[in-house]
Amino acid sequence: MNTRQHIEELFSGYEETAALADFKEEMESNLNDRIAVLKKKGLDEQTAFSKAITELGDVSALADDLSLKRRQEVFSDMYMKTRSYIRSGRMALYVLCGAVIGFGLVVGAVAWTYSGAAHSFLGTVSVFCGAGVLGFVFLGLTQETAAREAMPWKRALWYVLSSGAALFGVFASAVTYFTDSVGLPEALATLIPFFLPGLALGVFLALTEKDRSKPWVVEFRKKAVEREMERFAGPAQQERFGLICGALWIAAVAVFVLLVLLVGIKFSWLAFVAALIAQMLVLSAFTKESGEK
C-alpha cells in the first residue's frame, strides 16, 4: 500500500476541507521522508512503512479539528444567517424554466381553443413543459441547499436523461392515444419503450446515489435516531413496537375495505384515524415502560 492510499483511508470518514487536504499533503511528504530514512537504515519497504505508520499515532483528534471547523461554519450558516444558496445567475435560470412552462401552457391552451383538438395542446405542452421540467430537474439536483451539497452536473445530466425518456414516453403515448385514437394498447406500446428504460435508469441512479447531506444534517439525524432509541428500553422493545404498528395498519386497511363495502366511503376513513390513535396509545405505553426502568 502506498502512503497516499493509507492517508486517504485514515481520513475516509471526514469531510474534505481545504485545511484537511493541506494537512494530508503535509503528512504525506513527511511520511514519505520518514520511510526513506528508515529504508536507508536497512529496513525493508514493508517494515519501514508500518513503522512510520505506528509512529504517526492517532489522527482522529486532529482530523476532527480540521474537519469540524467546517461543520461549525455550516452549522452557523444554517442557524445564524440563513444565507442564500441561489446565486442570481441560477435564479434567472429557475425563472426562465418557470416561464417556459407557463408559456407552453398558454400557447397550448390557445392552440386548443383555435383548433379544438387535444393533440395540438399536448404537442405544444410536451415540448415546452418537458423542457421546463427537465430544466428544473437539472437545476434542482445541482443546487446546493442549507441541508444538502450539490450533485455533480454530470450525474444530474443522467437524471435529466432518465426523466426525459420517461416524460417523452408519457407525452408520446398521450399524443398517440388522442391523435390517432388507436386505443389503449397502442398508446401503451408507445409508452413502454421510453418510459421503462427511463424508469430503470432512474432506479439505478437512485440506488447508487450517495448521501449528499451536509454534516450538520447527518449529525442531526444521528441525534434523532439516538433520541428515538432512548425512548425505548432497548432494540427489542423498538422492534416489538414496529411489529405492533405494522399489524395495526394492516388491520386498519382491512377494516377500511370492509367499511367501504358495508357503509360506503363516507365513514370508512375513520378506520385510519382509529389506527393513528391506537398507534399513539401503543407508543405512550412503550415509552412509559422504559421511563420506569
Partner 1 sequence: MEAKLSSDLLRGHTDTIVLGSLLKQDRYGFEIYSRILERTGEQYELKETTLYSSYKRLERDGYVSSYWGDETQGARRRYYRITEEGRRLYRQNKIDLEFTQKIINDLLKEDETE
Instruction: Report the interface residues with partner 1, using CB under 8 A.
Output: 22-23, 25-30, 32-34, 37, 55-59, 61-62, 65-66
Choice between 34 and 119, CB closer to partner 1: 34
Query: All 3 cell numbers of residue 9?
Result: 483511508
**Nearest distance, CB of residue 29 and partner 1, angstroms:** 4
Q: Where are the beta strands (DSSP E) in 57-112?
A: none
Nearer to partner 1, 39 or 90 (CB): 39
Q: How far is the CB of 80 from partner 1 (least distance, A)?
A: 22
Shortest separation between residue 236's beta carbon and partner 1, angstroms: 40
CA dihedral of residues 178, 181, 182, 185 (deg, nearest 10): 40
Q: Is 19 or 150 the residue whose CB approaches partner 1 more closely? A: 19
CB nearer to partner 1: pick between 3 and 162: 3
Q: Is 238 exposed, middle or buried (0-12, 13-18, 19+ CB in 10 A)?
A: middle
Tell me how far apart the alpha carbons of residues 248 and 214 are, in angstroms, rounded to a whole number. Answer: 36
Least Å from the CB of residue 43 to partner 1: 14
Smaller CB separation from partner 1, 26 or 45 = 26
| Residue 90 CB-density burial (10 A; 0-12 exposed, 13-18 middle, 19+ buried) | middle
Q: How many helices (H) and strands (E) does the chain have?
A: 12, 0
Contact between 52 and 38 under an 8 Å Cβ cutoff? The reply is: yes
Contact 205/152 with Cβ under 8 angstroms? no
Least distance (Å) from partner 1 to the CB of residue 25? 6
